[in-house]
Chains A and B, each alone.
Chain A
């Protein structure tokens, strides 16, 4: 359902079917809804076979990068080494709040997916890393884990299968960067959440130096349905002409929109219908001006571009942006884009882990310039400087936080340059005197 709104007939609720249903939160309620059947089946199936089913289903990681899940799992071999599974529940991307609802309403669905995935990658131990601010989701998932242990679903003889599966919940403490997979591992190990240089990739040397798989909440919560119903069943969701984007996806919608919330649709859904039909369009008397379709770190679209886009991985790339985490931020015609982009860069400056110079200095520098333009103190040279700094930040750091800060600035300058220029033109405080700087310096 489009939680907190009633379900829309054009949604395809699989993960979101029980949002708003308190009974689904309990073990008995979850079992009554078919929960843990997939795990029981999986624990008695060879992991290689499970990896093949997930690979065949076409499921791609729902955290943002869209890497094929089955392929990621296939890196984990039965080599007798200690393996770990990490569930990335550090949902902190502005505009994205889907994992929160999965954990709040169907915590057992996540625990089931985590236990199933752990078995599939030959891991005995899985950790669910939940961001510190998510107090209610944390409590729900902890309660589900306890119930699952008490019922023998987890532990040394999980569901009587003879397999050992431990699931532990770990609470973060307020750092956006810990959603980056290597930063998450550092944080889990009791370190500052600084991302690590890759290679080595986590599948080779991850958590505690052991081979590790990291998956998003939404990805893991989807897997039990695929194991239970089969790869062919899952393939029915999506565009027939695009076999690369299969299945359903939860989209979070926020900002200036009539019905903000979470909506689950089959990939390939027309973005225009999504915005106007499911989400109710802009607030009364307003017009949509811009949309960030995949969480704050993907390029901004104008209304026209958004209305022509298709909601899947390839459709979003064709529109000049990315599907990302599926967090849709809507701006209406009242919004000052310079102001809002400046606010976004402030977010990235605050959340930079400060490890890489380009990011530490670049995010702060960009923010100062953006805020200067916002406050009517900008100059024409500032726009060139923004471009130069962004160029110096993109693709030059250990992780992509730096790129994520540069992206809204670059796409904002491209799509809404006139707003930047209007603010600069209105700046009466700067009187350019040739040679003035040199004269005063002397």
Chain B
């Protein structure tokens, strides 16, 4: 299931975790401090293309997701084609190809977490965020919940990741408290 807005249209389209999700009009990403940072990153590699993943992270941090316009900016900054950039973006799961909720929640349901009850954590999250289903964004734009493959914290089942923060040992019962602590 894709984690984009609901098929029912604009009502469920949410604000991203950072910045604005409107692609146009916007300020260019790679200006000022961000350009300085990109140049610093470029100096670490013998090719410009090697900075593609870092540049996409910078784009996503600034805009909340990776849009068509953003892809063109990254391509221009690194002297590669937008089609090439898009091919790379679609390979990796962590670049959002659609706007997502302000709190983007990833739940690990791979086997080690699954044996510890991860599926019930998913149900609890869907119920308490009002997202309805995996990949959809709640009508208030606060939450998007997705299942994710192995978060690499198997001993702390069930881990969830809220934007950039890990919450470990989540149970269906602890979900309401965790959500209530989010702004």
Q: Chain A interface (Cβ within 8 Å of chain B)?
A: 4, 91-97, 100, 131-136, 166, 168, 170-176, 187-193, 208, 252-256, 260-262, 296, 327, 329, 331, 335, 340, 343-344, 347, 350-351, 353
Assembled-state Cα–Cα distance A95/B150 (Å): 8
Beta-carbon contact of A170 and B155 below 8 Å: no
Q: Is B53 within 8 A of A187, CB to CB?
A: yes
Name the contact of B53 in the complex, choosing from A91, A166, A171, A344 (C-beta under 8 A).
A171
B154 touches A97 (CB 8 A): yes
Contact flag A340-B114 (CB < 8 Å), given A100-B153, A171-B53: yes
Q: How far is the CA of A2 from the CA of B55 in the complex (A)?
A: 38
Interface residues of B (CB under 8 A from A): 44-47, 49-54, 56-57, 78, 80, 87-88, 91-95, 106, 109-112, 114-116, 148-157, 161, 164-166
Q: What is the bound-complex CA distance between A350 and B111, given in angstroms? A: 13
Contact B152 A192 (CB under 8 A): no
Chain B contacts for A97, CB-based, 8 A: 152-156
What total of A-B pairs shows CB separation below 8 Å? 136
Q: Contacts A94-B150, A135-B164, A255-B115 known; A260 to B47 CB distance under 8 Å?
A: no
Q: Is the CB of A175 within 8 A of B152?
A: no
Compute how far the CA of A57 lies from the CA of B2 in the bound complex, rounded to whole angstroms: 49
Q: Report the minimal beta-carbon distance from A214 to chain B, rounded to whole angstroms.
A: 16
Contacts of A262 in B (CB 8 A): 155
Are the C-beta atoms of B93 and A95 separated by less than 8 Å? no
**Chain B nearest CB, measured from A294 CB (Å):** 13
For residue A91, which residues in chain B have a CB less than 8 angstroms away from its CB?
Answer: 152
Which chain A residues border B53 with CB–CB below 8 Å?
A: 170-173, 187, 190
Q: Could you tell me the distance between the alpha carbons of A255 and B155 in the complex, rounded to whole angstroms? A: 7
CA distance A96 to B166 in the complex (A): 16
**A132 and B155 in contact, given A171-B53, A190-B51 (Cβ under 8 angstroms):** no
Tell me how far the C-beta of B131 lies from the nearest C-beta in chain A, rounded to whole angstroms: 20
Instruction: Report the bound CA distance from A95 to B44 in whole Å.
Output: 33
With A94-B112, A94-B150 already in contact, the answer to whether A189 and B49 are too (CB < 8 A) is yes
Query: Are A347 and B150 neighbours in the complex by a CB distance under 8 Å?
Result: yes
- The distance from the CB of A101 to the nearest CB of chain B, in whole angstroms, is 9
Residue of B whose beta carbon sits closest to that of A339: B114
Whether the pair A133, B156 counts as a contact (CB closer than 8 A) is no
Give the CA-CA distance A340 to B119 in the complex, in Å.
Answer: 12
